[in-house]
Structure 1
Amino acid sequence: MLNQVIKTAEEAGKKILEFYETDVEVITKEDDSPLTKADLAAHHIIVDALKEMDPETPVISEESGVPDYEERKQWNRFWLVDPLDGTKEFIKKNGEFTVNIALIEEGKPILGVVYVPAFEVLYYAEESIGSFKRTKEGNPVKLETSMFEAPGKASIVVSRSHGDDTTVEKLNSIGIEVKEEVPSGSSIKFCLVAEGKADLYPRLGPTMEWDTAAADAIYRYSSENGEKYSPLVYNKENLKNPYFLLGLNKEVNIEDW
């Protein structure tokens, strides 16, 4: 199944790049977020492929309607998709946008694929095998990194599109000194922590479950021993994520910051 999901993500990425090379027509959604024809084209490729491959399992995509919680709470397994994460980066043409497909079981991602079509970089993970990164130049490399232990000096991932001047102060309050900021777009931010290019990803801004699920799987299973701690839970009544701090070896209630 994982290989089929990877192939589907790559096909969606190929379609996205067809739009990327042209003038991007942008539509504004009800929540003021941008939408392009590339988002919709990738959505249809992925949803159609998942329904053919796994017809018994429901699919939620950012570009589809979300069933009522009364229906969803009966699900113990479903696909969660963001066909084009980082639409702002896509519009800016900086390449930092991704295709994201996750399989959720009992509230956590057990499989995740994150594809960066502009750079032909693939991240994938499955609970039973761990996390991997593949570039166009080489074979997949297993990701095995450690979690950050506070207090100490940390490099942090910061968003290119959603700045937050208070993050450094907040981290200082729990004994973490920021030694470096690593800017990135879309779900790549999770993957940078998973592969050790940054220690932490603090997020003090809004995200939805489909924004994080696939990359969260890459992060969770990028451990030498067992599963890394992630504060995120899936198929909540409200699909909006709380603020979070990813990469720390313990739970921190940053909602109180």
Structure 2
Amino acid sequence: MLETFEKAALEAGKAIMEVFASGCPSRKKTDHSPVTIADEQAERIIIAHLERDFPSVPIIAEEAVAAGNVPTIDTSFFLVDPLDGTREFLDRRREFTVNIAYIQNGRPVAGIVLAPALGVAFAGQGDEAEKLAIDDEFRVTKRIAIRARSQPPVRKALASRSHNSPETATFLAKHAISECTNIGSSLKFCLLAEGGADVYPRFTRTMEWDTAAGDAVLRAAGGSTVTVDGLPLTYGKTGQAHDVDFANPSFISWGRTKSTFERA
């Protein structure tokens, strides 16, 4: 499965970078978030790969959902965010990513996150995760196994560049965390997965396609993502009384933890 994810992400990433190099206008979706031709081209590429290799597995893809195309899901399905960090993309920052994940029984069990402008990708399945170096021709030149690090005495936090909140500051103060780096897109999960940081609290809204691929990589690397009640974040949340389908609650992602650290 990861082989298909990798091919799809690399092809999508190449298409995104062609648009990035030439520049492009954006428009607003109904939720007022921006979308570009890069999002749409990348999503078409990814869906074509997934439908070819896994024709019976439903695909929940961000732009398709925005257009009202939402297939019925069962216990297994794909989550696709073709361009996570569209605001970073439009602001000419290079932290945007391509995200593909496979969900089984509410858990993200396989995923890939490609940062095409940074020449790096992260993939995970089962209990194995790796970091991939990508060259200018979108070929993989190196693979390195990665693991989340155990919680050190002084922890480093990550926060959203575009969606920070007062609750994040409260969380950091409560846990005596003085070092916090702001970064865009799903790369925050990947930095946890490779042992570059220890915790990522998120108290503003995300959708499942924003988090699933990075969460899959993090879990494969030995980390975890939990709600504020300390329960694992689940996927396939439809029919929610308090929010739209596939919306996430607040969550905290950790590197390798002890149970006492898994609550906000």
Q: TM-score range by the shorter chain?
A: 0.7 to 0.9
Displacement after TM superposition at 1:188 (Å): 0.3
Which of the numbers 228, 235, 247 marks the counterpart of 1:240? 247
Alignment of 1:9-20 (within 5 A): 9-20=9-20
Do the aligned partners of 1:182 and 1:198 also contact (CA within 8 Å) in 2?
A: no
Which of the numbers 106, 129, 132 marks the counterpart of 1:131? 129
Superposition RMSD in Å: 1.7
TM norm structure 1: 0.88
Alignment of 1:1-257 (within 5 A): 1-65=1-65, 67=70, 71-72=72-73, 75-127=74-126, 130-136=128-134, 139-148=142-151, 152-173=153-174, 176-223=175-222, 228-231=223-226, 232-237=233-238, 238-247=245-254, 248-250=257-259, 251-252=262-263, 254=264
SS in structure 2 at match of 1:178: coil
- CA deviations over 1:39-80 (Å, ceiling 9, x no partner): 000010001110011101111100113537xx43xx111111
Displacement after TM superposition at 1:147 (Å): 4.2
SS in structure 1 at match of 2:123: strand
Q: Identity over aligned residues, as a percent?
A: 39
Question: In structure 2, what is the Cα distance between the partners aligned to 1:94 and 1:13?
Answer: 15
Question: In structure 1, what is the Cα distance between the partners aligned to 2:247 and 2:115?
Answer: 24
Summarize the Cα distance change of 1:171–1:181 in structure 2 as closer, same or farther, 3 Å threshold.
closer
Summarize the Cα distance change of 1:17–1:134 in structure 2 as closer, same or farther, 3 Å threshold.
same
Displacement after TM superposition at 1:172 (Å): 3.0
Q: Runs of at least 4 residues of structure 1 off by over 3 A?
A: 248-251
Gaps of 5+ in 2: 136-140, 227-232, 239-244
- CA deviations over 1:189-224 (Å, ceiling 9, x no partner): 11111111111001011000000000001100113x
Displacement after TM superposition at 1:144 (Å): 1.5
Do the aligned partners of 1:229 and 1:249 also contact (CA within 8 Å) in 2?
A: no
Question: In structure 2, what is the Cα distance between the partners aligned to 1:249 and 1:171?
Answer: 18
Gaps of 5+ in 1: none
For 1:187, the aligned partner's letter is: S
Do the aligned partners of 1:96 and 1:186 also contact (CA within 8 Å) in 2?
A: yes
Do the aligned partners of 1:194 and 1:222 also contact (CA within 8 Å) in 2?
A: yes
Question: In structure 1, what is the Cα distance between the partners aligned to 2:132 and 2:44?
Answer: 25
